[in-house]
Structure 1
Amino acid sequence: MQRAIIAVIVINSVTIGMETSSHLMDRAGDLLHAVDRLALAIFTVEIAARLYAYRREFWSDPWNWFDAIIVVVALVPATGPLSVLRALRILRALRLISAVPSMRRVVNALLTAVPGMASIIGLLVLMIYIAAVVATTLFGDIVPERFDELPRSLFTLFQIMTGDDWGSVAQEVMEHKPWAWMFFIAYILMSTFVALNLFIAVVVNAMNDAEPSPAETQAQAELETVKRELAAVNAKLDQLLIRQTSPANGRGRRHQQL
């Protein structure tokens, strides 16, 4: 059943993407709309069946909420002021997250990493803000199209942080102030190579904690095997002890009778 739902989600996602092509819509628009309505009907029946089977327990799982909200949004008529909901139909593809256990584990790991990511994001925002104030003060007069005001400086520094043509920005400033390379190199080192890598490290660490590595899985399996073997050995020792004590008990009883 789960594999069938995954297949429907994939097919529906592909057909929604195909609907963006005017050429395909002219040739097979009715078929694509029919597949879309059929997929929505299957999703609705599936959610209704799960509600009937689990009743109140259905709402105890956040992933069930996630699936239900996506289906409800798809059921709202996409007409008039709600026509924007038609573009949100592709959100049905997100149901793959709840349908595929491995994807679900990744998302759960990311959610557990949110507190650590929030701290890194706060540090990064603080660094960009400080650098933007310094850049506006130092370079606002010589390169006004990049650093004339704080909002523009923030955008420029965000662009530099992503590595988007930062060399051209630095060259424009260095034509007036040759020492400006020190500012840009220091900013890139702190924002890109330190803060962003810390952000990635927090996410990777959370995913490692959420899902054991192959070595840990193998070690756990070997430990379980050893435990079973020890339990079997203990059972055999108990049987041997019982056999050894049984004859002695029998001789004791015969001696009492005599």
Structure 2
Amino acid sequence: MTTHFDSIQSKFDRLRKNKLFELLVIAVIIFSALMIGVKTFDIPNWLHTGLSVLDWGVTVFFLIEITIRFIGEPRKRDFFKNGWNLFDTFVVTLSLIPVGNNDMALIARLVRVFRVLRMVSIIPELRMLINSLLKALPQLGYVLLMMFVIFYIYAAVGTTVFASINSELWGDIAISLLTLFRVMTFEDWTDVMYETMTVHGWSWMYFLSFICLTAFAFLNMVIGIVVNVIEQENKEADAAEHAGEPTIVDVHRELLALKAQLAEQQRRS
């Protein structure tokens, strides 16, 4: 009995690592995403019924796929040690909630939307990007904290000086924070600046200094941190892939050792 189960486990292990199987899973995920998009349009009832049947077919496929990956895992405990496996299992399990007219219908529809995120767990390059972002969070935290301090100072100044000009944009510090976010993203920020310049001609310095600090300095720091972490992840992945292979330094050392041995043999002869 154990030998028969080991044979099944070995077959499922080869199947889950098969590239064609991975491409099939990705194709089903994309198809599931397209079905969600189609359902947002005004479609005939017969098409809606057909999509509902296909949706259940996709759910059954994902359930079978998770089962294959679980059985194909040599050590079953390692399956649940992987965060992506837990995420996939959670999403697929919640997808079993029927979409009806009850209170759980909204949750069921939202879970089916999140099935698109399963593509991240399937494609290694996407997993590397997410892992890089997670590893960059500690460094990004200090940058974002400093960015919030700058936002808060400028919002307090803006509320104090510009509230009398336009209370809808500078009425309190919360609204001023939203206005400054609009300025940082360059969404019609010149209209905001020119409105304040009609009363305070020097206010252009306020906006330009804020943009230089946030949109240019801090955002570039965020991008730099993320890119640096991604490069480190790529180096670690390459090192793990080529672990055990001789490096140029090792080859050079071996050549020097051979030269020394040849020189010693010639000296003795």
The TM-score range, normalised by the shorter chain, is: 0.7 to 0.9
* Bigger Cα displacement from structure 2, 174-183 vs 8-17: 8-17
Render the CA deviation track for 1:201-255: whole Å, top value 9, x for unaligned.
1111111111149x99xx99x96478579869989x99xx99xx9xxxxxxxxxx
Preserved contact between residue 136 and residue 149 of structure 1 (Cα < 8 Å): yes
Q: Which residue of 1 aligns with 2:85?
A: 64
Higher helix share: 1
Please list, as runs of the form range in 1=range in 2, the aligned pairs for 1:73-112 lying within 5 A after superposition: 73-79=94-100, 80-85=102-107, 86-112=109-135
Gaps of 5+ in 1: 246-258
Please list, as runs of the form range in 1=range in 2, the aligned pairs for 1:103-142 lying within 5 A after superposition: 103-142=126-165
Preserved contact between residue 70 and residue 92 of structure 1 (Cα < 8 Å): yes
Q: Which residue of 2 aligns with 1:194?
A: 217
Q: Which residue of 1 aligns with 2:49?
A: 30
Per-residue deviation, 1:33: 1.9
Cα distance in structure 2, aligned partners of 1:169 and 1:12: 43
Gaps of 5+ in 2: 1-20
CA 1:78 to 1:27, structure 2 compared with 1: closer, same or farther past 3 Å? Answer: closer
SS in 2 for 1:113: helix
Per-residue deviation, 1:191: 1.1
Q: Which residue of 1 aligns with 2:38?
A: 18
Preserved contact between residue 113 and residue 206 of structure 1 (Cα < 8 Å): yes
Q: Which residue of 2 aligns with 1:43?
A: 62
1:173 equivalent in alignment to 2:196: yes
Render the CA deviation track for 1:41-74: whole Å, top value 9, x for unaligned.
0111122233334322211111111111111221
Cα distance in structure 1, aligned partners of 2:110 and 2:228: 35
Cα distance in structure 2, aligned partners of 1:119 and 1:225: 39
Root-mean-square deviation (CA), in Å? 3.3
Cα distance in structure 2, aligned partners of 1:56 and 1:116: 32
Render the CA deviation track for 1:71-119: whole Å, top value 9, x for unaligned.
1221223442222221331211111101011111111111111111111
Cα distance in structure 1, aligned partners of 2:174 and 2:181: 11
Letter in 1 for 2:232: D
State the structure with more CA Rg: 1
Per-residue deviation, 1:121: 1.1
Cα distance in structure 2, aligned partners of 1:58 and 1:46: 14
Aligned residues: 238
Preserved contact between residue 16 and residue 36 of structure 1 (Cα < 8 Å): no
Render the CA deviation track for 1:173-224: whole Å, top value 9, x for unaligned.
11111111111111111111111111111111111111149x99xx99x964
